[in-house]
Amino acid sequence: MRVPDGDWIDSARAGLTLCDATSAVFAMDLPWQKLDVVTWSWQKVLGGEAAHGMLALSPRAVERLESHTPPWPLPKVFRLTKGGKLIEGIFQASTINTPSMLCVEDAVDALHWVERIGGRAVVQKRSQENLAAIARWVDASEWAGFLARDPATRSCTSICLEIVDPWFLEKPEEARAPLAKQIATKLEAEGVAYDIGSYRDAPPGLRIWGGATVETADVEALLPWLDWAWAEVKTGA
């Protein structure tokens, strides 16, 4: 699920607004004027390596860093100030712990790809088209629905579905998760989709990645397989 806008954030706020935009940057519009600390990773919409993150700070966040001294020691890798001043080199390609340069080059190549296909607007459009393809399928489905009922809160990257078939909902709660897991298992066995199960603490269902590196044609090719897997699970049960 996504937060649809930043209108609820007070422009005259005294505190800082922290935003984990891991799955949103390059796929959705962000209210940057309302955000003070924004983090995201290369591995999501840009399709880069995992374990690498980006950090953007507003002037208000920098002011807070320079005016606040933590009452406990911080490991060097977490220190953003020295002598009460922001360590600007961190934001100008200096490294604390040297990351893999291959991972950096991979991220740079992904940015070149974004530029080649038309920039951020085109990348966002690709993700929106993936969501739209799934929405058309959901509208005609008798067993699957969006976990986020309100369209304004639906993510176009981590697209989460729940099972709404009355036959499924009549099952005891402890029986639902294993049935949903069988869908993901069958799809993986066929080489169709991997790691498509819902999050562990989410209602039983599916989670489809709709980031810009995914072709809409591939999403559309997946959808009949979802119907097949569900029919197999339901018949087998």
Q: Report helix, strand or coil for 19.
A: strand
List, for residues 25-62, the tens digit of each pLDDT value: 999 999 999 999 999 988 899 998 888 888 999 999 99
Residues of the chain with CATH 3.40.640.10: 18-116
Using pLDDT thresholds of 50, 70 and 90, give the confidence band for residue 112. very high
CATH topology of domain 120-236: Aspartate Aminotransferase, domain 1 (3.90.1150)
Prediction pTM value: 0.89
Question: Which CATH class for the 18-116 domain?
Answer: alpha beta
Distance of CA 233 to the CA centre of its chain: 28
Q: What count of other Cβ atoms lies within 10 Å of the Cβ of residue 117?
A: 12
For residues 139-148, average pLDDT: 96
Structure tokens at 100: 């893999």
List, for residues 178-203, the tens digit of each pLDDT value: 999 999 999 999 999 999 999 888 89
Residues of the chain with CATH 3.90.1150.10: 120-236
